[in-house]
Each structure stands twice: as structure tokens, then as C-alpha cells.
Amino acid sequence: MARRNVDVEPLVAAMKHAGAALRDAEIRFALAGGLAIWARGGAVTDHDVDLLVKPEDAERALRVLTEAGMRPERPPEDWLLKAYHEDTLVDLIFSPAGGPVTDELLDRAEEREVMAMRLPVSSMEDVLTTKLLALTEQEPNYASVLEVARTLREQIVWDEVRERTESSPFAKAFFTLIEELGILPEHARA
């Protein structure tokens, strides 16, 4: 969960180091997760750096980060690879909840200045869709998606998120919750 009084310097250093290495190697990527939310004005994260890459670029991206001095890790999960910049984790996510990273997903990312570095930042619709589709019976925590909905509601195309998550009972419950809490803008209500 995002916290307010967080030292973002290690996250920013890892983001810049990894982003520059991937950019210089001409590997397409997008900043995702908590730092994408933060880059758009949401609460700061204290967790890790999430970068989206296409499945066919994942191994090469890990190799590039390793050559840039980061420590690689191959987790048992089959949807991401990891690298560490000092003690800060960078996730190379190639198959998030909702399906593999595609050119279309990367095309939706917007170039933004994040701590004096221009980076492609995932759309809020992609970030929220991924977060909602990741909710499960084992992990039904709505705290982070509620925080995003509250703080960035005017930046989200709600109809798109609703359509892309319609197969998820957790997303349906989320939409009911934000409607009842008055978070969902009137024009986006079903």
C-alpha cells in the first residue's frame, strides 16, 4: 500500500538507471504500477519499480540491466523477471494480469517527465485495469485501487476500465463500491 512519508530516492535512482539502460538499448518499455500512479499525481509508493516490456524483449531487457550493473533474479512466476539496483527491486513485467504486454499497450503510454527524466508512463486505464484484474480470492485488497480512484478519478476513462474488466467479479464489486462511496464521476455511472 502507498505511504505518504517515503524516501523515494532509491526508487527514483533505480527507475532512472533501468529506464536509461533500456532506452539506450532501444527496448520499448513503460513505467507502470505505483510509480506510474505517482508520476500522474497519486500517492508515492515504497515498494518497487515496475516496468512493462513485451514478452519477446524480456530476456534481452534483463541482460541489458545486468550489463548496466544490476543484479538479476529469475523468480518462479512466469510473468516477470527481476533486477536489483542496489537494494531496490525493478520488476520487468511481460505478462501482467489481463494478458501479455503488446505494442498497443506500450503505444498508450504517455511520455512524461518523471524526476527530470522523460519516460513512457502507462496510461491510468492500463494501470487500473491490471490492478483490478490482479485481485483474487487470496488477495482481495481494494486499498490501492480505491486510493487511485480517489486521487486520480478525473484522469481515468472509466468506461474503458469497466469494459476491460467486466469478466472480473472483483472489478464489478469495485465499481459498485466506488459508485456507493461517490468516487465514480456521475457521467461514468452504469
**14 and 104 share one domain:** yes
Last residue of a domain, one of 70, 88, 122: 122
pTM of the model: 0.94
Give residue 3's pLDDT.
46
**43 and 136 share one domain:** no
Q: What is the pLDDT of residues 65-114, one digit of tens each?
A: 999 999 999 999 999 999 999 999 999 999 999 999 999 999 999 999 99
**79 and 167 share one domain:** no
**9 and 103 share one domain:** yes
Per the structure, the count of domains in the chain is: 2
Bridge partners of residue 91, in order along the sequence: 50, 82
- pLDDT, average across residues 35-61: 95
**131 and 118 share one domain:** no
* Euclidean distance between CA atoms 144 and 41, whole angstroms: 14
**54 and 81 share one domain:** yes
Contact present, 100 and 113 (Cβ < 8 Å) = no
**136 and 188 share one domain:** yes
Q: Which residue range(s) make up the domain with 150? A: 123-190
List for the chain the helix, strand, coil content (%; round to 5).
Answer: 45, 15, 35
Last residue of a domain, one of 122, 156, 172: 122
Instruction: Report the sign of the C-alpha dihedral through residues 168, 173, 177, 180, in that order.
Output: positive
Quickly list H helices, the chain: 9-24, 33-39, 58-67, 103-108, 124-133, 143-152, 158-164, 169-180
